Amino acid sequence: MKVACATLAAVLAAATLHADPLQCNLNGYKPGPGLSATTVSGSLTVQWDGDHGETLRLRFGLAAGTPTIQELAVRKGTGQWATLATDVTPDFRVTTGLRRMSNQQMAPLRGLGVELTPEIVDRYRWEPFWDAPLDLSAPGGRAGNPPPAAGIANQPGLPRKPEEIRRASASYHVTGCDVKTNGARLEISFPGVEAGVFAGRLQYTLFKGSNLIQQELLASTSEPWIAYKYHAGLKGLSTANARVVWRDTANNWQDYRFGGAKNDAEVPLKTTGRRSPSSHRPIISSGRAKWRSTSGTTGTGRTATPHFHSASARRNTKTNQRDRGISRFTARDREACSE
């Protein structure tokens, strides 16, 4: 069984919502100072101490089965609450393909006289560098050592078939949530999420003493040899007085303020890559709310800034070594699941 963990990116879109009552199980919740959860009138409100003397508040509800951040607010000390976002919903999209073993792995095994049985092929499917599960071109069009064109054992040949590739957006059929205290963390889980071949739950994790908000899709599939990439984000953020701030590939800050004609297409940003643990990712801000990766900084700001964290993909197989970092705020630009 493959297990995937997709995390946050930022996507701006409009949302029309219909509120449903949210029933939450608080049996795993332990009240404590600086980290609280309450249910009132069909919604869940959590409040916690952030950093730099700030307090944050999240109010969750349901809209046609979709978990919704009805309100995200922050205040400094005992000051007034500032609402940063309302009626924001998660957005996860996944693309899957079939993982193949490449000639690069097969050559040394053949040299050692190892028979390439289905068991051997399945064992080393997760090791290839040259496999590109979303590439439908004819053999010979790519450099390196691609999978054998004729196929081998239980592995189909090339070119890949269009039906191997599936794209899906997450659908939500949530009726309730589970709230659990985990040390200085609070975990809010919403079972009832499907994303293509994956099924599981949406989870938010809040950290006492930090403005970090982690959004994840924890899902699994029983289908074999699934290679995947994903886009993860939020939708429903207003573009009024909003801007995007990021470090480009030369490590210089770039700043774009929204306005003008509407653009329905997504615009990839080329940002600083995985050069070091402090590499920055795209930062999306809506009004005075700034969204960033945990290693990013926003420079100046007019108010307190809760931060949405983006973690790496992970599975319970050897793909953990290949997929680490597959999406941090935005999935990879290229249409291939190879590195």
Q: What is the pLDDT of residues 263-318, one digit of tens each?
A: 788 888 888 764 444 333 444 333 333 333 222 222 222 233 344 443 323 333 33
The per-residue pLDDT for 1 is: 53
DSSP state of 147: -
Judge whether residue 118 has pLDDT over 90. yes
Q: CB under 8 Å to 166, separation ≥6 — which residues? A: 95, 96, 97, 196, 197
Using CA atoms, how far apart are residues 298 and 243, in angstroms rounded to an integer? 11
Using CA atoms, how far apart are residues 277 and 295, in angstroms rounded to an integer? 7
Other CB atoms within a 10 A radius of the CB of residue 9 amount to 25
* 157 inside domain: no
Surface-to-core class of residue 181, CB atoms within 10 Å of its CB (0-12 exposed, 13-18 middle, 19+ buried): middle
141 vs 293, higher pLDDT: 141
Say if CB 231 and CB 205 are below 8 A apart: no
- Stretch 133-141: mean pLDDT: 85
Q: Which amino acid is at 24?
A: C
What pTM, to 2 d.p., does this model score? 0.75
pLDDT tens-digit readout, 10-23: 322 233 345 688 99
* 154 inside domain: no
* 305 inside domain: yes
* 214 inside domain: yes
Judge whether residue 329 has pLDDT over 90. no
Using CA atoms, how far apart are residues 221 and 200, in angstroms rounded to an integer? 9
The per-residue pLDDT for 263 is: 78
Closest CA to 144 of 132, 160, 126, 158: 132
Other CB atoms within a 10 A radius of the CB of residue 333 amount to 9
Judge whether residue 141 has pLDDT over 90. no
Judge whether residue 253 has pLDDT over 80. yes
Q: Residues 127, 132, 138, CA angle at the centre, nearest 5°?
A: 130
- Stretch 310-337: mean pLDDT: 29
Other CB atoms within a 10 A radius of the CB of residue 169 amount to 12
Range(s) of the domain holding residue 17: 2-94+168-331
Say if CB 96 and CB 196 are below 8 A apart: yes
Judge whether residue 9 has pLDDT over 70. no
Give the strand pairing for 176-182 and 23-28: parallel
The per-residue pLDDT for 335 is: 30
Place of tokens 């207003």: 238
Using CA atoms, how far apart are residues 277 and 223, in angstroms rounded to an integer? 34
The per-residue pLDDT for 273 is: 61
Closest CA to 325 of 7, 2, 17, 64: 7
The per-residue pLDDT for 257 is: 86
User: What are the angstrom distances between the C-alpha of 205 and each of 35, 209, 298, 334?
Assistant: 12, 13, 22, 30
* 202 inside domain: yes
* 302 inside domain: yes
Segment among 144-148, 271-275, 327-331 with least mean pLDDT: 327-331
Q: Please tell me the total count of domains within the chain.
A: 1
Say if CB 337 and CB 37 are below 8 A apart: no
Using CA atoms, how far apart are residues 302 and 253, in angstroms rounded to an integer? 18
pLDDT tens-digit readout, 20-71: 889 999 999 999 999 999 999 899 999 999 999 999 999 999 999 999 999 9
Judge whether residue 74 has pLDDT over 50. yes
Give the rounded distance of the alpha carbon of 286 from its chain centre.
19
Using CA atoms, how far apart are residues 293 and 44, in angstroms rounded to an integer? 25
160 vs 308, higher pLDDT: 160
- Stretch 1-11: mean pLDDT: 44
* 109 inside domain: no
The per-residue pLDDT for 302 is: 28
pLDDT tens-digit readout, 185-240: 999 999 999 999 999 999 999 999 999 999 999 999 999 999 999 999 999 988 88
Using CA atoms, how far apart are residues 244 and 242, in angstroms rounded to an integer? 7
* 306 inside domain: yes
Q: Residues 253, 257, 304, CA angle at the centre, nearest 5°?
A: 75
Q: Report phi then psi at 257, rounded to 5.
A: -105, 130
